[in-house]
Amino acid sequence: MVHEPQEIRPVGGRNTREADESVGSSHRTSAAFSREVAPMLSSRPGDGSVVAQNDGTAAANDGGTTNLAARIARKLDPAKDSAKPVSQLINEQVFVDARPQAAERLQVSDRRSVTDQTSKPPEVVVQYSNASGKPDQKPDFTITKDGTVVAHTDFEKHGGNVVIQVERPEGQVDPQQNPDFAKQQEAQARLLAYVNNRIKQDYPEAEKNGVKLQDAQGLVAPELENQLGMQNASQIGDNYSQETQRAVENLGRFNGSGRGSMSRERADGYFPQRDVPMQPGETNAAAAFKDTLAALVNADKERPYETVRKQGNEYRAGRYGFSGRQISNWLAGLDLGDPPDPAKIEELIKQGKLPKGFNVEKLKQLQAMAKGMADGKQPSAEDMKLLPKEMQETMATDLTGKMLKDAGNDSSVAALAWMQNKEVGELTQADLTSPEGQAIRDASQKAYSLATARQMSERGDTLNFQDNGRGSPLGIEIAQHAERVANNMGTVGWCYRGVKRALDKVGINLEGGYAKQAASQLASNPRVQEVSKADMQPGDILVHQPAGYGRTKGQQYAGHIAVYLGNGKEASDHVQSVIKGQGYGGTRVFRVVA
């Protein structure tokens, strides 16, 4: 039994430590560098716990990689080679030459002018290769799967950031899935040290403050960053915990990963354990969103409900990272009166909203704890007993339900508001579109798609994933339902029935039996918007109107309807490549937005 979420969450990540600025100098000896690199070849915390089920893909292109390796005479030695430009190291067969034009070898033009040295130092970007072959930024270097370093430019000539691309096969989201992981990591460590040294030689500011590193996918070991004295530029800023930073980085590994798979058991490990069953009235969508928040908070795996984290100037608590403000808002919503009415408290205990033994005194203690958290006071282990796990689940259900409603059921917007400790209406356009906001929203979409996929699977199942690059959590959920229905039906000629079954699962009900009847129903539904065909996203519904003529009955009389899955695929009563509409009387595209 196979289930296909569009995107899935890995684990592992960063643990920033105090940097040793004395390390990373071009004067280190080769022996010293080897001693430093050795412990860095182990993975980041959590790496290796995800192993794709399509590991055979990893060796698909090894022939080309092996040929490149044969062109290398020796390994890069940062201690000795940092005085040499890229062109000389190509001549010495340390790098493979993949530059578009032959460059001059070892001339003054290889180094920036003195005037250039007064400008802003370049940053170093480390990123995974894109399965589509189109990297987000054109690389200066590629580190192949076997550790061969390919030079695409003389990076010191063009200025700007230095981009190092780490090669991976389709579906790889964990460096340890690479059989030659150790070789690739060693090459990465040596190349980073070389580039770091070259930048420091040219820029006094970099020598003084450290070279900035952009590592949005958590591919560089924290030990190496610190040994080289590099500054990691967090993509979500400094107002989030290191654990949330790790979660966002590792979710980012799915960008550009293409297709892959993992077991349900491994997928379960990506979320802090939930010890409380779903509550009466708690929907699957609500539970998935709560799991999304738990994944972003990245609560302690052993004791998630006792987690306490510093975030910005205040503290967060529990599996869902409640802020003091959120706790206070929930208590205020109970309307217990002023002074609090013991009878109302007893009634809420009977309803299961408050834990047994809760009373006016504990209410006051919890209110004081919430205020202290907002003021930057860390709650103690004794304080956390005021938030038992059952109460946390009730609080999360109530608070997130309101947030989702305010966000029009866009879980990425609601997740951003939660993480920023704001109401949805308080989010600004800058919050939504800033790099930090986009990173949180992107990570939340991936976590949400995994959470919904887990709900549709059983232990022992395989979860397939596919990076479609974009799409709302609701759209991804619709695409998942549609693909599952289509695979179960496996028929031809019953497209309307397949799409109807998929949309039923999200509360969109279609009447009738022909595709041509769907367009008017969708257009009049307040939960649905008509969008441009050029802007299709996973979960969108394509309706091809009948033309009154054509080779098929569908083209003549019934039309055709399908759900777009992304990457050129659609699902109706079977999965196929998207029908472009030839022979039909026009195509309309609809998107469920709430």
**Strand pairing class (124-128; 212-214):** parallel
For residue 254, the model assigns a pLDDT of 87
**CA 498 to CA 563: how far, in whole Å?**
9
For residue 49, the model assigns a pLDDT of 34
Torsion of CA 567, 130, 145, 191, to 10 degrees: 180
Enumerate the β-bridge partners of residue 528.
Answer: 592
Please give the CATH superfamily to which domain 473-592 belongs. Answer: endopeptidase domain like (from Nostoc punctiforme) (3.90.1720.10)
- pLDDT tens for residues 119-136? 789 999 999 998 755 556
User: pLDDT tens digits for the chain (594 residues)?
Assistant: 333 433 333 333 333 322 232 223 333 333 333 334 433 333 333 333 333 333 333 333 333 455 788 888 899 999 999 999 999 999 999 999 999 865 443 343 444 443 355 578 999 999 999 875 555 678 999 999 999 999 999 999 887 899 999 999 988 888 988 999 999 999 999 999 999 999 999 999 999 999 999 999 999 998 999 999 999 887 788 889 999 999 999 888 988 888 888 888 878 878 999 999 998 889 888 999 999 999 999 999 999 999 999 999 999 999 999 999 999 999 999 999 999 999 999 999 999 999 999 999 999 999 999 999 999 999 999 999 999 999 999 999 999 999 998 988 888 899 999 999 999 999 998 898 888 998 999 899 889 888 888 888 888 898 887 775 556 667 888 988 999 999 999 999 999 999 999 999 999 999 988 888 899 999 999 888 888 777 688 899 999 988 766 556 666 677 899 999 887 889 999 999 988 776 788 889 999 876
Residues of the chain with CATH 3.90.1720.10: 473-592
Residue 151, token pair as written in the block? 């030079």
Enumerate the β-bridge partners of residue 563.
Answer: 541, 571
Other CB atoms within a 10 A radius of the CB of residue 113 amount to 10
For residue 45, the model assigns a pLDDT of 34
Chain CA centroid to CA 77, Å: 34
- Spell out where 24-154 has E strands: 96-97, 124-128, 141-143, 149-151
Residues 6+ apart with CB under 8 A from 500: 510
Is residue 181 helix, strand or coil? helix
For residue 328, the model assigns a pLDDT of 98
User: Which long-range contacts link 276-282 to residues 24+ away (Cβ below 8 Å)?
Assistant: 276/389, 276/390, 276/392, 276/393, 279/352, 279/393, 279/394, 279/397, 281/397, 282/397
Residue 54, token pair as written in the block? 């399509």
The pair phi, psi for residue 314, each rounded to 5°, is: -135, 180
Enumerate the β-bridge partners of residue 464.
Answer: 261
